[in-house]
Structure 1
């Protein structure tokens, strides 16, 4: 997916997380495109992706509606993802990596290191990280050689923020985003180290913790449900 498309999807996710797009709000292509200053094509693609992620629902005829999302639903979906990806990392460590899989993981780490070595991140950096992050997780899933894990993850991905691809970027808080994703990149290093050393239990624990980083989304939803929050004020 082109960087522009990734950025539009991430922006819309962030608007839903923050409450700027409130539960029940109707969404249509033209006004949303005008709101973001983009063409209708990336909006159309974004709506389809967000529907698959369980963040919006299709209305009869045309248009979508923002779904009600709770902290509990997000936390539950992420917990399931952590268990599944943890199992994938354990089995990858037990089976061992092929040369191609190891090279792919090392390439993801190298690109991530180059992104964060500057001490700051740009929009392009975050879009690139989105791509390598997805590749990284796909490689570990492939290395587990367990189709049942992939099948279970696909079913879980229809829940809000359960997919590894459903990252949000806050482009107004770039220092925060640097710290957040630099930490995630360091976790990538430690899980690869555990897999290479054939330390299955360690690899599983790190991968589960890596998924739990996403639980800050659940905390945001919990905060937004309190009186006086931004989300409350926009409803």
Structure 2
């Protein structure tokens, strides 16, 4: 292979994405622990990709907040306090609330609401399966993520969408971060029902051009995640279900 081809491969977005995903998995899976230093060359050997994609992947993970640059060179895995996590959830809720308000105030044609209403109907069916004792977790996660993406699309604001995407890159700040934990709650069925009611109400608020109401609903919706986090912090089995739990500094623990 020519030197030019080598350089092209190094710059390939797919190689960078591959390295980024692999590194993220190592971090979220606990194989790379908070405080661990990550340098390019060892990761080149470990991941089986060339140096440039690894370098770019490290920079991207720093931008996501999972890594921090250290003065002596390289990066270290970050840790997060309980307050960091609660704040990240609040940030996502505020941004999704803004998206909902913009969609309502700007107006959304009825036809453009059809995809999110279809998603809501599919979520209703999955929640019903869950209430009947069926393991609906994988389907719920996928549909819930789709609902939140469609909600952002209704705002038609690339700027807001970028900020929401950035806020949700931290593993515990995404819309589905605590769905597994939610399944462990004693009141799991009630929480799912409340979440679905939020989904339904925000669509109705957008259709009715009720911006303030739509924003308030999405802020409250995000706080369901905070409720689930509080439960997980009191329950070891539930805590271990949180994506990136190894990164979280719990009070009273070193």
Select 1:122's aligned residue among 134, 137, 147: 134
Q: Is structure 2 residue 108 aligned with structure 1 residue 97?
A: yes
| Alpha-carbon distance in structure 1 between the residues aligned to 2:153 and 2:82 | 30
Q: Is structure 2 residue 210 aligned with structure 1 residue 199?
A: yes
| Alpha-carbon distance in structure 2 between the residues aligned to 1:103 and 1:208 | 23
Select 1:74's aligned residue among 78, 85, 97: 85
| Alpha-carbon distance in structure 2 between the residues aligned to 1:213 and 1:126 | 17
**Aligned residues of 1:71 and 1:217 also touching (Cα < 8 A):** no
Cα displacement (A) at 1:174? 7.1
Within a 5 Å distance, the mapping from 1:2-81 to structure 2 comes to 68-81=79-92
**Aligned residues of 1:86 and 1:207 also touching (Cα < 8 A):** yes
Secondary structure of the corresponding residue to residue 158 of structure 1: coil
**Aligned residues of 2:107 and 2:209 also touching (Cα < 8 A):** yes
**Aligned residues of 1:22 and 1:66 also touching (Cα < 8 A):** yes
Cα displacement (A) at 1:216? 2.7
Cα displacement (A) at 1:115? 2.2
The equivalent of 2:226 in structure 1 is 215
Cα displacement (A) at 1:122? 2.8
Within a 5 Å distance, the mapping from 1:160-179 to structure 2 comes to 160-170=171-181, 173=184, 176-179=187-190
CA deviation vs aligned residue, 1:11-61 (integer Å, no higher than 9, x gap): x97x98xxxx99679xxxxxxxxxxxxxxxxxxxxxxxxx7976699xxxx
CA deviation vs aligned residue, 1:100-141 (integer Å, no higher than 9, x gap): 431111112211222233534432x12111111111111111
Q: Which has the higher contact order (CA 8 A, sep 6+)?
A: 1
Secondary structure of the corresponding residue to residue 85 of structure 1: helix
| Alpha-carbon distance in structure 1 between the residues aligned to 2:163 and 2:77 | 25
Taking a change above 3 Å as real, the CA distance of residues 168 and 116 of structure 1, as seen in their structure-2 partners, is closer
Select 1:155's aligned residue among 166, 172, 189: 166
TM-score (norm 2): 0.59
TM-score (norm 1): 0.64
Unaligned runs of 5+ in 2: 1-23, 37-60, 69-75, 235-248
| Alpha-carbon distance in structure 1 between the residues aligned to 2:203 and 2:180 | 25
**Aligned residues of 2:65 and 2:170 also touching (Cα < 8 A):** yes
| Alpha-carbon distance in structure 2 between the residues aligned to 1:172 and 1:195 | 29
Select 2:122's aligned residue among 111, 119, 122: 111
**Aligned residues of 2:104 and 2:206 also touching (Cα < 8 A):** yes
Unaligned runs of 5+ in 1: 1-8, 26-50, 58-64
Secondary structure of the corresponding residue to residue 188 of structure 1: helix
Bigger radius of gyration among the two: 2
Deviates more, 1:103-112 or 1:84-93: 103-112
| Alpha-carbon distance in structure 2 between the residues aligned to 1:160 and 1:56 | 13
Figure out how many residues of one structure are paired with residues of the other and give that number.
191
**Aligned residues of 2:202 and 2:217 also touching (Cα < 8 A):** yes
